[in-house]
Amino acid sequence: MMKMTELQQKITAALPAVKILNWEPLSRHTSFHIGGAAEVMAFPKTPDELAALLRFAGEENVKYAILGAGTNVLAPDEGLSGLIICLKDCLDGMEQLDGDRIRVFAGVTMTRAAVYAAGLGLGGMEFAHGIPGTVGGGVYMNAGAYGGEIVQICESVDVMQPDGSILTYSCSDMDFSYRHSRLEEEPGIVVSAVFKLTPKPEDEIRAMMRELMNKRKASQPLELPSAGSAFKRPVGGFAAALIDQAGLKGFQVGGAAVSEKHAGFAVNLGGATAADVLSLLEQVSDKVFAFSGIRLEPEIRLWKP
């Protein structure tokens, strides 16, 4: 067994109530199934546990990163030193506030939240059913699909600051735009969000969710590990169409490839490394640029070791 690092010893002693895993493979927590070991991975169950972790990190000068469901992240092969705070299924819980508003905690998946809303006869989250990330990850990057986006339903967001305090931001405070929120530029962790929805018959909501899920299954390579759309939508075009027109469907680097089914997805054919995916994304971006003059930028968050 590997000797415990100073951080691993200190955090276990300081926060005995918080679930901590040392040298946990990031590949177990990312939809790409890629990534080396995290020095410390913590799973806070409550906002208080999350605040305690942040205060510990501040006092000990430990760098940390937040992981939701890991469906938009490429984690490095070398793994990560420091602390990874994993929120999926940890900061859990949903409640109906009044009438057409619900509060959802950050670790709940978007699909679970959409199903919960449907059960209350509240529409507006149909687009989110099938996005495999958490509500925290979805708010962080204003996730969207089929014409819907978080910004359309978000009333407010509780954001934990590095000192453990919580600020409530209104939707306009969040500075949402295409796959962006203010949290990309400043520290802050989504603890929960209030969504304002619209009363709608449950069977209509469920029919719409089924229709959108069938569209996903028909067009996306859901049978292979990926992190969703690899590139942002460029101004004046669609990434998948440009990649397809450049003849890159099936283009492969090591175990990583451009999906044959949907050119916008980079997939792990088996045994792909982060280095394979990075090289694939770079080469695709260069080839599309040479072909069209349009530069594709990654939508996937590329975590550095």
Ligand X SMILES: Cc1cc2nc3c(=O)[nH]c(=O)nc-3n(C[C@H](O)[C@H](O)[C@H](O)COP(=O)(O)OP(=O)(O)OC[C@H]3O[C@@H](n4cnc5c(N)ncnc54)[C@H](O)[C@@H]3O)c2cc1C
Q: Which residues contact ligand X (rule: CB under 6 A)?
A: 31, 65-73, 87, 106, 131-134, 136-138, 140-141, 143-145, 183, 189-190, 220, 222, 226-228, 301
Question: Minimal distance in Å, beta carbon 267 to ligand X?
Answer: 10
Burial class (CB in 10 A: 0-12, 13-18, 19+), 301: middle
**Amino acid present at 141:** M
The answer to whether residue 229 is catalytic is yes
State the catalytic residue, choosing from 81, 202, 299, 301: 299
**CB closer to ligand X, 7 vs 26:** 26
Question: Minimal distance in Å, beta carbon 206 to ligand X?
Answer: 19
Question: Minimal distance in Å, beta carbon 106 to ligand X?
Answer: 4
| DSSP structural state of residue 71 | S
**CB closer to ligand X, 87 vs 100:** 87
Angle ∠(20,22,23) on CA atoms, nearest 5: 145
**CB closer to ligand X, 229 vs 285:** 229
**CB closer to ligand X, 145 vs 171:** 145
The answer to whether residue 299 is catalytic is yes
State the catalytic residue, choosing from 181, 229, 259, 285: 229
Question: Minimal distance in Å, beta carbon 188 to ligand X?
Answer: 7
Long-range contacts of 2-6 (CB under 8 A, 24+ apart): 5/39
**CB closer to ligand X, 109 vs 285:** 109
Residue the block writes with tokens 């088996």: 270
- CA distances, 61 to each of 30, 49, 56, 66, 184 (Å): 26, 18, 8, 16, 21
List the strands of the sheet with 64-67, edge to edge. 19-25, 37-43, 80-86, 64-67
H/E stretch holding 195: strand 189-196
**CB closer to ligand X, 8 vs 226:** 226
Which pair of tokens denotes residue 303? 């975590």
H/E stretch holding 265: strand 265-268
**Amino acid present at 187:** P
- CA distances, 189 to each of 65, 102, 182, 297 (Å): 10, 19, 11, 25
State the catalytic residue, choosing from 179, 181, 259, 285: 179
Question: Minimal distance in Å, beta carbon 249 to ligand X?
Answer: 17
Question: Minimal distance in Å, beta carbon 299 to ligand X?
Answer: 8
Q: Which residues are catalytic, by number?
A: 179, 229, 299
